[in-house]
Amino acid sequence: MLEPFAAVDVIRAKRDRNVLTDPQIDWVIDAYVRGVVAEEQMSALAMAIFINGMTNHEIVRWTTAMINSGERMDFTHLPRPTVDKHSTGGVGDKITLPLVPIVAACGGAVPQLSGRGLGHTGGTLDKLESIPGWRALLSNDEMMQILTDVGGVICAAGDGLAPADKKLYALRDVTSTVECIPLIASSIMSKKIAEGAGGLVLDVKTGAGAFMSDPALARELAATMVTIGIDSGLKTRALITAMDVPLGFAVGNALEVEESIEVLAGGGPADVIELTLTLAREMLDLAGIDADPAKALANGSAMDSWIAMIKAQGGDPAAPLPRAREMHEVLATNSGVMTQMDARGVGVAAWRLGAGRARKEDPVSAGAGIFLHAKPGDAVTEGQVILTMYADDAARIPSALEALEGAIQIGPAGSTVLRMPLILDRISP
Which amino acids are annotated catalytic?
86, 165, 172, 187, 191
Helices (H), 300-364: 301-312, 343-350
Q: How far apart are CA 18 and CA 31, in angstroms?
A: 20
- Residue 117 in contact with residue 256, Cβ under 8 Å? no
Torsion of CA 169, 163, 287, 266, to 10 degrees: -60
Helices (H), 301-407: 301-312, 343-350, 397-403
Rounded to 10 deg, the angle between the 301-312 and 253-264 helix axes is 140
The alpha carbon of residue 146 and the mean position of all alpha carbons in its chain are separated, in whole angstroms, by 22
What are the distances in angstroms from CA 263 to CA 46, 98, 397? 42, 7, 29
The alpha carbon of residue 160 and the mean position of all alpha carbons in its chain are separated, in whole angstroms, by 20
Q: How far apart are CA 417 and CA 372, in angstroms?
A: 18
